[in-house]
Structure 1
Amino acid sequence: MSYDAVVLISFGGPERPEDVLPFLANVTRGRNVPPDRLAEVAEHYQHFGGVSPINQQCRDLLAAIRADFAANGLDLPVYWGNRNWHPMLADTVAQLRDDGIRSALGFVTSAYGGYSSCRQYLEDISTARAAVGPDAPRIEKLRQYWDHPGFVEPHADAVANALATLDPGRRDSTRLVFTAHSIPVSMAASAGPQGGRYEAQLRETAALVAERAAPGLPYDLVWQSRSGPPQVPWLEPDVNDHLRALAADGVTSVVVSPIGFVSDHLEVVWDLDTEAAATAKQLGLDYVRAGTPGTDPRFVAMVRELVTERLNPADTAARRRLGTLPAWDTCPTGCCQPARRP
């Protein structure tokens, strides 16, 4: 199979105060999110001037990928389209068509399986292609990369660097806390070929990062950024509740690592740098948040490696993985069902 381009596909975010509510309407369409929760999340964006960091982070990653491709002789143009805000994926697909692209590979800014983190991007691609019409190019999503060295190693180095800022005399009372976006329990446990993959992959990533960054240090996987109706069970514990439990158990110092994310976008800088940091301060915990891959050269090179894997499928030795969970290029039909509606 030949390919003519690569598309960076991301979540999107507002870049002006007046964008915030229309953006959130896109994000929550059909999800029955309570109005007070929408207003609360809108205020988070307004706290930062109505601007999410994610679009600029995508621009930076796009530039880094293009430079890496050029430096390594990979002659494929790289485009960018979002799920929820401009540049919208359908507009990008139309641009691909107008530029004569017939077949492209899609790299999404989510490392994991699951509905919101994988299958929904497949649905986004299908919807965008349908909007463009019969001449829309084919777009195939690249594989999940939760255990790729280019994702794991930047997270591990960030944890090690964060840990180095804490008092070594408190090492015995220091805890490593990994976080990821919570999802409904029914979604996490959905049946089908990839049911339960989101949490399983996150647990494997947590173990891989911890053993490289802080061998022997106790760690936990907890959750953040819950946004659904209060009557629907979501994965727990929430990071703030977990910090309270750790403080009650005598923990004095915490490194929080957002392994569920590839960059420091709003759910990192608000939920962790603002809310969780305030909780830790109230509890008297030493608190430091580890960084995310962003444009780390290893993460950027990983994108190229994932592309060349698909270009040369017979070269199985080139598939770099650190974990043991099954992985595949094409998701099975029926995988990762959305949450059941109440």
Structure 2
Amino acid sequence: MPPSPVGVLVMAYGSPPSMDDEAIYAYLRHILQFYRRTDPDPEAVAHLKERYRAIGGSPLYGITERLAAGLQQALERASPGRFRVYWAMKHSPPFIEDVVPRMARDGLDRAIGVALAPFRSRLSTDGYYRVVQEANQGLTNPMAWTFADDWHLHPLFLALWQSRIEDARRGLPETALVVFTNHSLPERVRRWGDPYPTQFEATARVLAERCRLPHWTIAYQSAGGGSEPWLGPDLIEVLRAYREGGGTHVLAAPIGFLMDHLEVLYDIDVEAQAEARSMGLHLVRTPMPNDDPRLIDLLADVVTRKAVRQ
């Protein structure tokens, strides 16, 4: 009897599955319960709904589904019948904790988890993997799980972003500033020795060298609430300082993200863009990888290499 396929679970952060008030509330409540053990107030729900309305709703579901389908096809071409790909969300349906038991019911006994985030952190990628492990421990016959190795300096990841940056720079003056952005996390991750900021900085540095950028910097964006400090500098502060110094053109390269979703489509394209216009600054953004074949090939390579060592 041939061995059962190796399961592959690709995981994204999540988004409301609809613009209904109930869906927005459930999504935000799941996030706040996960991190703070609290419920959202009506003002927070209304604010989140307004942000999603401004971008016409999130395309995250469709992108994630296409990415998983593309990954299945790429793995099947290389190793017919060896892998079976699933996808799940951390904070919205289909939840990770629901998909893991489904994989077991489908007869899988081995699986590889891949969080769709390029930089590792206890508060980011490791959080996805903890949910997987907790769901797995609740099974009658737990599966053998392993998780993706770091891929922030993978040649395909670098090539993917290099092409996007170089294409976007063609319409800008040589003096334009390239700002590499990443989702902010609480500042305490530095005290932990968390790899998140160093991986982000290393990737930005390598891309700046490969693209031969004369002017570049890094910034964090989309910081959460609460009273504790978050990683910086903040994107808006970087834009303001650059404009005050006489700068006129900026290219945002959100290398901490893979797909179009709220943090890109609203926080950069709406919020940061409005700030830039108010300063007289010309701001453009690189397209996101989304389901680009090079991202699919990268993930297939990460999965295949991990399966060899499993």
Q: TM-score normalised to the size of structure 1?
A: 0.83
1:10 and 2:12 equivalent? yes
Q: 1:183 aligns with which of 182, 185, 207?
A: 185
Q: Distance in 2 between matches of 1:117 and 1:157?
A: 26
CA contact (8 A) 1:26 1:84 kept: yes
- For 1:37-116, what aligned pairs fall within 5 Å after superposition? 37=44, 39-49=46-56, 51-74=57-80, 75-116=82-123
Opposite residue 151 of structure 2, the aligned amino acid is Y
Q: What is the match of residue 334 of structure 1?
A: none
* Paired residues of 2:6 and 2:109 also in contact (CA < 8 A): yes
- Does residue 256 (structure 1) correspond to residue 260 (structure 2)? The answer is no
- Alpha-carbon distance in 2 for matches of 1:114, 1:228: 19
- The aligned runs of 1:108-187 (5 Å cut-off) are 108-131=115-138, 133-166=139-172, 168=173, 171-172=174-175, 174-187=176-189
CA distance in 2, matches of 1:293, 1:209: 15
Equivalent residues of 2:15, 2:91 under 8 A apart: yes
State how far apart, in whole Å, the 2-side matches of 1:79 and 1:216 are: 38
State the AA in 2 paired with 1:304. Answer: A
What is the RMSD of the two structures over their aligned residues, measured on CA atoms? 2.1
Alignment-derived partner of residue 325 in structure 1: none
| Shift of residue 222, structure 1, vs aligned partner | 0.6
Letter in 1 for 2:187: V
- Are positions 1:291 and 2:287 aligned together? yes
1:228 aligns with 2:225: yes
Q: Among the aligned pairs, what percent are the same residue?
A: 29
Give the match's secondary structure for 2:302.
Answer: helix
Structure 1 residues 126 and 44: CA distance shift in structure 2, 3 A: same
For 1:293, the aligned partner's letter is: P
Q: Judge conservation of contact 2:24–2:49 (CA < 8 Å) in 1.
A: yes
Q: 2:272 aligns with which of 235, 253, 276?
A: 276
Residues 30-84 of structure 1: CA distance to partner in whole angstroms, max 9, x if unpaired? 42698455543332123345x3221111011011111211222353111111111
Would you say how many aligned residue pairs link Structure 1 and Structure 2? 302
Q: What is the alpha-carbon distance in structure 2 between the residues aligned to residue 203 and residue 212 of structure 1?
A: 14
Instruction: State how far apart, in whole Å, the 2-side matches of 1:240 and 1:52 are.
Output: 23
Amino acid at match of 2:154: H
How far is the alpha carbon of 1:298 from its aligned partner? Answer: 1.8
1:217 aligned to 190, 205, 214, which one?
A: 214
Asked if 1 retains the 8 angstrom alpha-carbon contact of 2:10 and 2:115, the reply is yes
Unmatched tracts of structure 1, length 5 or more: 314-328, 330-342
